[in-house]
Amino acid sequence: MDKTLLILAHGSKAQSTTEVIYQVREEIAKRNLYKDVKMAFMEFNHPNICEAFDEIYKEGSRQVVAVPMFLFEGNHIRYDIPEELMKVKNAYPDLEISLAKPIGFDKRIADILIERAAEKLWEI
């Protein structure tokens, strides 16, 4: 596949948070579904969205699926990310960008929460 997947994350001052996000990126990359899997952060970390797209473009990718690693449709999803993507489209008119929905509700999240709770039941 010729498309690049760009994971959009919030970012954090906590290094452990960033490490988890990169673990998710590595897991997706191992599946070889995309030409490349990149990361971009809204705050605190680099690359930001524009920096990530600069790199993607330099590497020759012209089709990008941007997927937010956000549960909810907050301000970053509604306003900030579309605004940043518009800047990118203006800078690289031949770049095709598709923005996926945030995670939202998914039964698998409930399964994970139940599993995490079960791990701690013995402590109560």
CATH of the domain at 96: 3.40.50.1400
* pLDDT tens for each residue of 58-102: 999 999 999 999 999 999 999 999 999 999 999 999 999 999 999
Which residues, including other chains, have CB under 8 Å from residue 24's CB and lie 6 or more apart? 7, 69
The catalytic residues are 10
**Sheet arrangement for strand 36-41:** 36-41, 4-9, 63-68, 96-99
Q: Does residue 86 sit in helix, strand or coil? A: helix
Q: Which structural domain, as residue segments, surrounds residue 61?
A: 4-123
In the structure, what pLDDT confidence band is assigned to residue 123 with cuts at 50, 70 and 90? confident
Confidence of residue 40 (pLDDT cuts 50, 70, 90): very high
pTM: 0.94
- The total number of structural domains in the chain stands at 1
